């Protein structure tokens, strides 16, 4: 017998007791935060927002037959399109399997991959000051050609094909490499647009030329163009739908042992170069939206 079956039988037995809170349990809403830059871990002790890091918590989120709905609290400037798609698809698959409504609530930012995640929900809400949108694809890097020449370093690259060293930051940019990168961007961009169209449907109120420019909107503006359904905060909206007695069941992501130890030390163990670079990259992602 599975654990879920055991839980169901236990609830059935409790419901027969002459105790009101067992016979008429309050409505229950599952809650999960999707917070941070989307992608793999950026260094030891730093957990990225990815399917691998969140899959167990997502499964736990839906693993209760008493749930009335699932609420996603999203605060992300984006990141990996692959991880965005994987997380969104897993949430959507479980929502369909359990026949549960999913409502997303955007906090500071639900942009780029963060908005991709929000579109996994049946409805999307935000604060009037939230930043929403940025539907597009971007990549950035640096060029160090002049620097290595000045300090007398010779770059040696051996590859099996002309594309293998594409966009090497220590070599001059090539037009054909840039064109190829743009082709890749356009393919991912089409996938992103199709995801938004499929999830939002006729709720989109503006033309493609407005929605799919990479632009961003405040929460109030996002309602006007149809990217979100309204302005609301999670607890007040759930109480409006399910009553003042609604209860919330959180599904938290467990950090690894190294991450917990690092957090407990308060960062006093010295500067980790990998962690510093990752933190700067995260900072740059947030600063694109003025945060």
| Eight-state DSSP code of residue 193 | H
Asked whether residue 101 falls in the same domain as residue 221, the answer is yes
Asked whether residue 53 falls in the same domain as residue 172, the answer is no
- Identify the three-state secondary structure at position 283: helix
Asked whether residue 129 falls in the same domain as residue 142, the answer is no
Asked whether residue 40 falls in the same domain as residue 100, the answer is yes
Q: 219, exposed or middle or buried, with CB in 10 Å at 0-12, 13-18, 19+?
A: buried
Hey, CA dihedral for 200, 203, 208, 212, is it positive or negative?
Answer: negative
Helices (H) and strands (E) in the chain, counts: 12, 8
Asked whether residue 276 falls in the same domain as residue 184, the answer is no
Relative orientation angle of helices 81-98 and 51-62, to the nearest 10 degrees: 10
**275 is a domain residue:** yes
Binning the chain into helix, strand and coil, the percentages to the nearest 5 are 45, 15, 40
Residue 87 and residue 118 in contact, taking contact as beta carbons nearer than 8 Å: no
Place of tokens 């694109």: 288
Asked whether residue 191 falls in the same domain as residue 229, the answer is no
| pTM (2 d.p.) | 0.80
Asked whether residue 118 falls in the same domain as residue 34, the answer is yes
- β-pair partners for 46: 43
Q: Distance between terminal CA atoms of the chain?
A: 49
Confidence band for 169, pLDDT divided at 50, 70 and 90: confident
Q: CA triplet 55, 60, 61: central angle to 5 degrees?
A: 95
Asked whether residue 58 falls in the same domain as residue 90, the answer is yes
What DSSP line would sit under 102-131, residue for residue? EEEEEEEEEETHHHHHHTTSSEEEE-TT-E
CATH code, domain carrying 222: 3.90.226.10
What does the pLDDT look like over 50-95, one tens digit per residue? Answer: 999 999 999 999 999 999 999 999 999 999 999 999 999 999 999 9
Between strands 67-76 and 102-111, the pairing is: parallel
What is the domain extent for residue 126?
Answer: 3-134+215-287
**208 is a domain residue:** no
pLDDT at 117 over 80: yes
**207 is a domain residue:** no
86, two tokens: 């994987």
**148 is a domain residue:** yes
Asked whether residue 118 falls in the same domain as residue 234, the answer is yes
Place of tokens 């467990």: 254
Domain count, the chain: 2
- β-pair partners for 28: 67, 247
Mean pLDDT estimate for the chain = 84
124, two tokens: 């999307």
What does the pLDDT look like over 203-234, one tens digit per residue? Answer: 999 999 999 999 999 999 999 999 999 999 99
């Amino acid at each position: 017998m599975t654990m879920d079956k055991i839980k169901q039988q236990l609830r059935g037995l409790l419901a027969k007791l002459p105790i009101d809170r067992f016979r008429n349990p309050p409505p229950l809403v599952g809650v999960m935060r999707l917070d941070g830059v989307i992608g793999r871990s950026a260094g030891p002790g730093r957990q990225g927002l990815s399917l691998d890091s969140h899959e167990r918590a997502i499964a736990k989120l839906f693993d209760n037959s008493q749930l009335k709905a699932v609420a996603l609290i999203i605060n992300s400037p984006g990141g990996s399109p692959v991880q965005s798609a994987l997380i969104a698809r897993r949430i959507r698959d479980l929502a369909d399997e359990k026949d549960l409504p999913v409502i997303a609530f955007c906090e500071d930012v639900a942009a780029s991959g963060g908005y991709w995640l929000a579109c996994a929900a049946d409805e999307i809400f935000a604060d009037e000051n939230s930043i929403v949108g940025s539907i597009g694809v971007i990549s950035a890097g640096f060029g160090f050609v002049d620097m290595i020449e000045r300090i007398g370093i010779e770059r040696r690259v051996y590859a099996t094909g002309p594309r293998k060293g594409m966009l090497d930051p220590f070599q001059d940019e090539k037009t054909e490499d840039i064109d190829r990168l743009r082709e890749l961007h356009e393919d991912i961009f089409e996938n992103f647009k199709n995801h938004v169209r499929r999830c939002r449907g006729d709720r989109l109120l503006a033309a493609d030329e407005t929605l799919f420019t990479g632009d961003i909107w405040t929460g109030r503006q996002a309602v006007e163009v149809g990217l979100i359904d309204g302005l609301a905060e999670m607890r007040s909206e759930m109480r409006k739908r399910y009553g003042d007695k609604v209860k919330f069941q959180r599904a938290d992501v467990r950090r690894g042992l190294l991450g917990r130890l690092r957090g407990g030390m308060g960062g006093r163990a010295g500067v980790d170069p990998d962690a510093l670079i990752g933190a700067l990259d995260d900072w740059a992602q947030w600063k694109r939206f003025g945060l």
